[in-house]
Amino acid sequence: MTCPRCLYQQHVCLCSSIPALANATRVVIVRHHLERHRSSNSGRLAHLALANSEIVDHGGGENATLPTLDGAYLLYPLGEPAYTVPEPRPRTLVVLDATWSQARRMYRKLPALRGLPILRIPEDDREVERLREAPGPGMVSTIEAIARALRLLDGDEIAAPLEALYARAVEHARVTGRLAR
């Protein structure tokens, strides 16, 4: 049996490990429709932890209907990394939750995203285990990217619990034999 909330097997359910975080910066996760039912979808975990977040599904024949994006920045790997909070300060962070190739297609298919300023976070050289194998250096999961961006925007008290949740998810995946090699 799988948990209907976290999608992990009942004996390794993550729900009790999901923190309740009051993030100031709103997070809009635009999730590729094929990610919806994957237990390795870290965007869902971030959404479950972040009080000020929402998930909008995209694909499967329909384009996402995005909420109002006033004051929004797109978290995307283009441009120079941000080491300080950009001005004006982002009120909303839009995150593409998909494989890297799916995210590129989503970016092209959703014109509202192309007009947003880009927030690119600094890379982290730490070696960490992941739920899925990264296609290249510096490429991270959705929850890791959100944690890094919110560390910059909202502080460590939001980012650190997200990182701990992801580490717990990786540990649970190892227990169930679903860890990417």
Determine the pLDDT at residue 62: 77
Q: Count how many domains the chain has.
A: 1
In a domain, 181, yes or no: no
Instruction: Show the domain range for 78.
Output: 10-60+72-122+132-176
pLDDT in tens, 28-51: 999 999 999 887 789 999 999 999
The bridge status of strand 26-32 relative to strand 92-97 is parallel
Residue 3 domain-assigned (yes or no): no
* Residue 66: inside a domain: no
Residues 62-103: tens digit of each pLDDT: 778 899 999 999 998 767 777 889 998 999 999 999 988 899
Residue 130 has pLDDT above 60, yes or no: no
Return the minimum-mean-pLDDT range out of 130-134, 136-140, 147-151: 130-134
For residue 67, tell me if it sits in a domain: no
Reduced DSSP (H G I as helix, E B as strand, rest coil) percent helix, strand, coil of the chain, to 5 = 35, 20, 45
Residue at 162 is within a domain: yes
What are 94-128's pLDDT values in tens digits? 999 998 889 989 999 899 998 899 998 877 666 66
96, part of any domain: yes
pLDDT at 73: 96
**Cα Rg, the chain, nearest whole Å:** 15
Q: How far, CA to CA in Å, does 154 sit from each of 93, 116, 137, 145? A: 11, 20, 26, 14
> Do the beta carbons of residue 31 and residue 57 sit within 8 Å?
yes
What's the rounded Cα separation, in Å, for the pair 135 and 118? Answer: 21
Could you tell me which residues are beta bridge partners of residue 55? 29
